[in-house]
Structure 1
């Protein structure tokens, strides 16, 4: 009689096994970061007070000094916090430096246009009252800029998804009263699946502070209440804090699209919410 583990793995598809292994590697990576830091994590308040410099390691992290890879990954700054397993969501505190946030806003501001959503029939972008922000995509040329390359590599390592599987980064601005209704990032049309396959995960990075409202809302996560645009609702929400990022998965470990990954951008009550989004696919996109 075959051992139980052989029976289990015999029933799993190749995609499922690959996603489980990837999830385990990612969890081991995050746990390794937590163990290596001990109690020396910089707090969010410290990050917001200081001028951390671009790709500089914090004090007290002498074992990484001089390590360029550690600087690119912001080891010693990035603090992972797993907030949900279903859907799978990780908040990465201090993921971007102040300089990286300001840089992305600066190159995006003169090129902002009214945001669109994907038409499920044609796969093309169309204007909709579901999404009321403005935004732009970085160009393939801009992907080669040193600061963008550092961000792209960091996204790849923390998500454990190859950089070539990522779409171009999109920068968004939400002004007062603007929002994005709850939606899924995975595609329901066949047009968009032709280039890179289905979306696996999303890295959502916050580029501004002093925003009231504008939370990222996951109605199917958690079992309690949360704040969303000044209202108390069921589910879980993440407050936009400059430099933080939210990494969440649109596909479950069974290799299927996860309906619990539905999420939205809550209404901005005051200030401007700037963010940058990176979607990752099953296969290379370029």
Structure 2
């Protein structure tokens, strides 16, 4: 009887120890999976590092119009770099005149901004951003306009508008704008949301007011990719968007417009 009890006790001990070891292996496997998703391991993969794979988290927030929120699209260093380039060269922002295609001043848009030069486009950090935009938007780099950096101070805004052109002048230089990537370069901003009045069926916050539609809060490093053309190849009126009034702080952003073809 005693020997039987010893055998049973030994078997139970063996099974229990086996279950504990198995559970530990399972936890280690799960932890490894979590780490592979949450903490990128480059293994000297420069391409993965350039594209911030493992950091950028795409989130579809609307299918009509098509809007994708790209979390952690830019690094802190890239945000600060673009701001530093832009700060000494800011001037009052303009809008495109529908008749002439030229930039004109308007109370529709009260920010200040500047465009990176063709030479600055070749800087290594700017090239990295350009390539990332191209990969995530699936539009060739050469189809993109020069990056524009913008600053919105307190009470400044950009009323709802479309990014696609209504004039023939701009259509000759690369065709229609098909998509926009809007990158946020600063934190601690109250208000200043990117507002899509034709998206969603609920309500959102826009410059401290409750509005119908969908809005995206400006968070440093995040970016919004949205499409001005629908899947049918026609301009999408639902892509109307605007920059809500800044209540406090400074909102810095960088915009990249993507065209149908390379600018001639």
Same fold by TM (over 0.5)? yes
- Quick one: distance in 2 between partners of 1:137 and 1:223? 35
Q: String of CA shifts for 1:197-230, please: whole Å, max 9, x gaps.
A: 0000000000000000000000000000000000
Q: String of CA shifts for 1:75-104, please: whole Å, max 9, x gaps.
A: 011010000000000000000000000000
TM-score (norm: length of structure 1) = 0.79
Is the aligned partner of 1:249 residue 2:245? no
C-alpha contact (below 8 Å) 1:217/1:265 kept by paired residues: yes
The counterpart of 1:178, out of the listed 145, 149, 156, is 156
Partner of 2:250: 272
C-alpha contact (below 8 Å) 1:172/1:275 kept by paired residues: yes
Aligned residue pairs total 232
Q: String of CA shifts for 1:224-281, please: whole Å, max 9, x gaps.
A: 0000000000000000000000000000000000000000000000000000000000
- Quick one: distance in 2 between partners of 1:108 and 1:73? 23
C-alpha contact (below 8 Å) 1:41/1:79 kept by paired residues: no
Give 1:161 shift. 0.2
Partner of 1:211: 189
Partner of 2:61: 83
Q: String of CA shifts for 1:128-159, please: whole Å, max 9, x gaps.
A: 00000000000000011000000000000000
- Quick one: distance in 2 between partners of 1:215 and 1:271? 13
Q: Is the alpha carbon distance of 1:39 and 1:186 closer, same or farther for their aligned partners in structure 2, counting shifts above 3 Å? A: farther
Larger Rg: 2
Partner of 2:47: 69
The equivalences for 1:26-175 within 5 A come to: 42=38, 59=39, 61-62=40-41, 64-175=42-153
C-alpha contact (below 8 Å) 1:251/1:258 kept by paired residues: yes
Question: 3-state SS of the aligned residue for 1:191?
Answer: helix
Residue ranges of structure 1 left out of the alignment (5+ in a row): 1-36, 43-58
Q: RMSD across aligned C-alpha pairs, in angstroms?
A: 1.2
Structure 1: which 4+ aligned runs deviate by more than 3 Å?
A: 37-42
TM-score (norm: length of structure 2) = 0.86
Give 1:65 shift. 2.2
